[in-house]
Every structure is written in C-alpha cells, then in structure tokens.
Amino acid sequence: MRPSFAPRLVNGPLYDPVVYTRILNEKDAVLFDCGHFFLSGAGLANKEILLINSIFVSHAHMDHFMGFDYVLRVILHRDKPLHVYGPEGITDKVLSKLRAYTWNLTMEYMLEVNIHEIQKDEILISSASVKDGFRKVRRQRQPRQGNLILRQPRYTIEAVALKHNTLSLGFVMKERLHVNIRSEVLAKKGYRAGPWVGRLKEMILEDETDGTLEVETVSGQKDMQIKDIIKDLVIISPGQKLTYLTDIRYSKDNLKRIEKISSGTDLLFIEAFYLDELKKEAYAKGHLTAAQAGEIARMVGAKKVVPMHISPRYHDQVDIIQDEISRSQMG
C-alpha cells in the first residue's frame, strides 16, 4: 500500500519538534508544531511552506510556536487562508503575533488567518484578514464531535488535551480510506487512464458511490455504475494513521487519553526528552523518558516510532535513547 502521507521531522530528533506532512497528489500540507525550522540545517523550502493549509500547535512554548512568524512571512501574498489549531488561549496568542506588525502596505493582500481554539466541548473559530491589519475579528462557535477537529475528504485530524506543566495537545492524523487503483488491469478491462480516475477516488472517499461516472474506454466515453467500476479496478484498505505526541507527563490520565485516540497507529512521533535515569525530573517538568516513550509505543501498537525533542544533555547519545525506546517497546 502506497501511503498518502509523507511526513518529515524537519529538525531531526535533537531540536525543536516540527513535523511537516505532505498529502501526496494534493496541493496540501500540514504542520505539527511550529518552532524554529532551521536548527538542523535542513529547514523547509518556501515552496513547501506555501503548501501549508493548517498548523497544529501543541502548546505555545517558544520552541513549538516561534516559527509561526516565518510561515506568515512566506505565505503573506497568497489568497488561500491559513488555519491554526491550538489549545485554549491560542486565539489571543496568534492575534498578538499578527497585530505586532505594521500592515499599512497590505491593503491589497487577501490572506485570512482562521484560528481554531480547541476547547472542551466546542471549537472557537476566529477569522481575521491582513487587509485591515487583522484588527477586525469574526467569531463563531462549533460544537466538537468527540476528538475530531478537522475533516477533509482524504483525512481527519483529532486532538486530545494532555498535561505538560501547561495544557498540551496530542494529535492524530488518519487517512479515511486508502484507495488503490489496479493500474495493471485498466487496459485488460477496456479502460483508458484519464482525469476520471481521480474523480473516482474522490467519489469513493466522499462516499458517493451509488450513481454513475463517465469513464474513458477503448471504445470511447461511457457512463458506468460506480460500484461496477470499483469491482473492476479498486482495492480499498484501511487508511494510514499518524500520531504526534510531545511535552507530556507520564501519568495515568494522559496514558488513558493517549490509548483511546492513538491505538493502531502506523507512525508515532513522540518526544524522548530524558533517559529513564531522570524519570523523576521528567515527571516534574512534564516530559517523557525514552523508556516511557517505548511503553507508550507498545501500548498503542505503533508500527514505527520516531523519537524527537531529545534533551541537549543527550545530543551525543541518540543511539542510547533509541535503544532504550526499543527495549521498552519490546517489553
């Protein structure tokens, strides 16, 4: 199964945790946390930043939030809005950043920023435009449906509130379904490839499979029942699941919430701030040890674990961190 998500830990395991996730075959990318992009030397290219539709901020500590200004600078001229999702209080923090600059030269710009503040039972959505220097704010409230905070045709994103020494959100990104076209049988069944194939995928993902679709065949255009096309050409399988967890305390309450939202994850990005020798300090500061990260990976059945946000004291011991995670995950 070819994955739909192409995630990248921008700064590697040692510096500010930033996960850039491209949605393949779409002009769409999301960002989990938004710290400094260039600490590892790799960073993000402007063309990558221009694809970012949504930023998911776990909490507003500087190493998770300072890169917002850089994203804003790159996308300022675009028409497509930017969506920012974060915990309670994120609205005032984003608006403070936006209003800290002088916008007297941007009256012709179209960029709008939509701030989604994740509250217990609802989402507060605040929208502001660069046209008026982000002074006017339109607000609406949207009831929450469980942990869901975003639904797109190809994926959903859920959030859960976890305890750091402040509130920190954990995020799960799930592909709704994985739709694979059996390209090797297209010609055998009398079809010709074309834009209709992409439309077929969209209709399957949007659960619109009761009607007909005009397809290209060796004998010309033809209306066919979508369900018949699916039988001929499509393999539908469970979608990919990605989990992002950082800056959280190893506590019963956090573990319960993590297990509920993250079980069966394919790819787990998780902080491993300390070795287990400092688990008391980790608890006091609201961080995980490598052993605790491994235990969480085992608990949720993670197929692959990517450690991140390792404390500077261990920057020459990454292999030891990884070994401690692996031993703990194996049990």
Instruction: Please say if the pLDDT value at position 186 is more than 90.
Output: no
pLDDT in tens, 48-74: 999 999 999 999 999 999 999 999 999
pLDDT of residue 319: 95
77, pLDDT greater than 60: yes
163 & 46 share domain: yes
Same domain for 58 and 106?
yes
Q: Do 33 and 109 fall into the same domain?
A: yes
Domain boundary (167, 202, 237) is at 237
Q: Which amino acid is at 67?
A: G
pLDDT score, position 31: 98
Q: Does 282 share its domain with 191? A: no
CATH of the domain at 243: 3.60.15.10
Statement to judge: residues 171 and 299 lie in one domain: yes
* Strand 267-271 relative to strand 241-245, pairing: parallel
The answer on pLDDT for 146 being more than 80 is yes
25 and 56 assigned to the same domain: yes
Regarding whether 58 and 147 lie in a shared domain, the answer is yes
* Confidence bin at 198 (pLDDT 50/70/90): confident
State residue 2's pLDDT score. Answer: 66
Same domain, 150 and 64: yes
- Write down which residue in 237, 255, 283 finishes a domain: 237
Quick one: pLDDT band at residue 22, thresholds 50, 70, 90?
very high
Where is the domain boundary, 214, 237, 260? 237
Buried b (16+ CB within 10 A) or exposed e, 236-250: eeebbbbbbbbbbbb
For residues 215 and 254, state if they share a domain: no
Same-domain check for residues 246 and 300:
yes
What is the token pair recorded at 180? 């694979």
**pLDDT value of position 110:** 94
- Predicted confidence (pLDDT) at residue 1 exceeds the cutoff of 60: no
Provide the domain limits for residue 101: 5-176+239-330
* Same-domain check for residues 301 and 186: no
Total number of domains in the chain: 2
Domain shared by 50 and 199, yes or no: no
Q: Would you list the DSSP string of 297-317?
A: HHHHT-SEEEEE---GGGTT-
Average of per-residue pLDDT across 200-228: 85
- Of 67, 60, 51, 53, nearest to 88 (Cα)? 60
Q: Is the pLDDT of residue 324 over 80?
A: yes
Model pLDDT, residue 266: 95
